[in-house]
Amino acid sequence: MAGSLDGEVLRAALVTPSSPWRALEHHATISSTNARAAWLGEPWRVVVADHQSEGRGRLARTWEAPPGTSVAVSATVPVPPEGPAWLPLLAGLAVAEAVEATTGLTANLKWPNDVLLPDDGDRKVCGVLCEVMSGPGDPVVVVGAGINVDQDRAALPVDTATSLTLAGAASVDRNRLVAAYLSRFSSWYAALTGGEAGRLRAAYRGRCGTVGRSVTLSRPNGPDVLGTAESVDDHGRLVIDAAAGRHAWAAGDVTHVRSVG
């Protein structure tokens, strides 16, 4: 497959004495990289695939991209002492930085972790799903990311989605993209757990386009919240000033409300 991932190249780049990553599996196709990473159950493992047939996202969403058009990456890490709340945000930040570094495209974030590309109308190019898994040893967090690379419009499930190619990336080196993402992820994880959480929070807030916007927050077990997103607090929650008052929300699906006129 042209442009496919190369496990040997990725292992050489990531599984090194100075890196926390301990092992990497590459699959041409797999049902779910998150499921495989959860089965492995040990921290600092990576599972990558050129195609997955049973991809899962937040709020129980499912999808399948045409073979060869995207990359799926799942990584396992220890649960941070502060808890897992910042890991989804951290992963989105790492993907956005990797996209910029390897394609030259600008990448922004919609809280908590959707990666948007302004070059294609702020459409979504990547989403993140984090799952805490308990097993015989210490619990781990499986952090899954699916990045759209070569889809055309017809191959995308919704109009709000895009791919790196549609946004104008001339040629995408998938190995460089995945290596850049995982390198940035491990660096930000070290900042979160090593006394530099403030630097991580500042970097995330600086890239989060949700802050300052009128938004609708859809919650699985409650009414929608319409208001102005004021900030992302130190716990990773979105602070919204709404008709019922100012409140910090830990979960929900955000829609940016576009102004009319």
Closest CA to 124 of 148, 104, 101: 148
| Average pLDDT estimate for 190-195 | 97
CA distance 161 to 155: 10
Q: Which tens digit of pLDDT belongs to each residue from 36-56?
A: 999 999 999 999 999 988 655
Mean pLDDT of 101-112: 97
Q: Which residues contact 151 (CB under 8 A, 6 or more apart)?
A: 65, 66, 69, 70, 161, 163, 165, 166
Q: What is the mean pLDDT of residues 15-42?
A: 96
pLDDT at res. 59: 45
pLDDT level of residue 4 (50, 70, 90 thresholds): confident
- What digits encode the pLDDT tens for the residues 201-248? 999 999 999 999 999 999 888 899 999 999 999 999 999 999 999 999
* Cα(243)–Cα(102) distance, integer angstroms: 42
